[in-house]
Amino acid sequence: MKPIAVALTAALVMTSGPARAVSEKEADCQFQANLLSTVQKARLNGVSKDKLTDVIKASNPDLSESVLAAVPAIADHVYSINRKELKDVDLGAATKAQCLENWDQIQAMKKTVKN
């Protein structure tokens, strides 16, 4: 098994007002896209689903436990896709596009849940 190089964007650009919201949106959606791409690459490189969280954690020791806790659910989705089909799709790009498109709805739902 080849080592997996994992590059997850963890820093959010903190500015004020609408610029901060746009930066946060872009950074969060890019982070999600990177995570999906990482899982996809691991699957294509033959990393077993059972070892995936450990491989990602070893490559990214600063990842939060909440992110690592999401990996098994993401893996279930990615590993359910036939490897041959997985080669022809960019899950990271699709995830980022969906995140950006649904950002306002997601934020509204988060506010509702908080209250």
92: Cβ contacts below 8 Å, ≥ 6 apart: 33, 34, 36, 37, 40
Q: Is residue 12 part of a domain?
A: no
pLDDT digits (tens, 9 = 90+) for 37-93: 999 999 999 999 999 999 999 998 999 999 999 999 999 999 999 999 999 999 999
Q: Is residue 2 part of a domain?
A: no
pLDDT digits (tens, 9 = 90+) for 101-114: 999 998 999 889 88
Q: Is residue 86 part of a domain?
A: yes
Q: Is residue 55 part of a domain?
A: yes
pLDDT confidence of 19, banded at 50, 70, 90? low
Q: Is residue 1 part of a domain?
A: no
Model confidence, pTM: 0.76
State the total domains in the chain: 1
Residue 98, pLDDT above cutoff 70: yes
CA distances from 37 to 31, 40, 108, 111 (A): 10, 5, 27, 28
